Amino acid sequence: MLKKPIILPEGYPFIIVALLLGVIGLWMKWYYAAVVPFVLAVYFTYFFRCPPRNDKITPGDDVLVSPADGTVVDVCHDAKEDMFLGQTCHKITIFLSIFDVHCNRSPMEGKITYQSYTQGKFLPAYEEGVGFENERGAIGITGKNRSILVILIAGILARRVVSWKNLGDSLKKGELYGMIKFGSSTELVVPRNVEITVKKGDKVVGGITVVGRVKEQ
């Protein structure tokens, strides 16, 4: 199971630069101006946090957990998915605000059998249709008797989709596999034999909140 420090290394450049600007401001005796970069350094430290949850993952082979922290902004029950699954699916869209944890976790155990990265625009992540226009990274996970697709979508502030796993790698349920810097959204696309257990407006926690349950065949 992949482990990451409580403060992600991806945030170090932002934190260090902000601190340096604050120190320069103090050295130049721009005391009031120096407050701004110090506040930003605190925020960047908060934003790039990665709470340890590997021992808190919701168990059960028949349940799918949320891939991200955030708010469910849409649940579509007739999404056409031609990228990986090639069928009509359920799609859950989760919006991650700039105050949410931005680490993404695998909804189930399996192997990455599909991976893609697409450059695009940087529209607000909560707007309808951004999954087709914005920068995004997708992974297809194949497990026991099912496959799912998870798509990380960059938002208006986000400028990079980060992946810590590659094609062919195995994932444990709830394992960390990537992040998006700053505001973004995550889409989870699952087959129709999965019963969706969340609705629009629900708050979800990555690796813990159950978002779907596989129906008995």
Residues classed as catalytic: 184
Contacts of residue 76, defined as CB under 8 A and 6 or more positions apart, other chains included, come to 90, 91, 93
Buried b (16+ CB within 10 A) or exposed e, 59-97: eeeebbbbbbbbbbbebeeebebeebbeeebbbbbbbbb
Residue 103 contacts residue 8 (beta carbons within 8 Å):
yes
CA–CA gap between residue 31 and residue 103 (Å, rounded): 35
Q: Which amino acid is at 31?
A: Y
CA–CA gap between residue 185 and residue 96 (Å, rounded): 5
Q: What are phi and psi of 142, to 5 degrees?
A: -110, 125
Residue 211 contacts residue 204 (beta carbons within 8 Å):
yes
* β-strand partners of 139: 115, 150
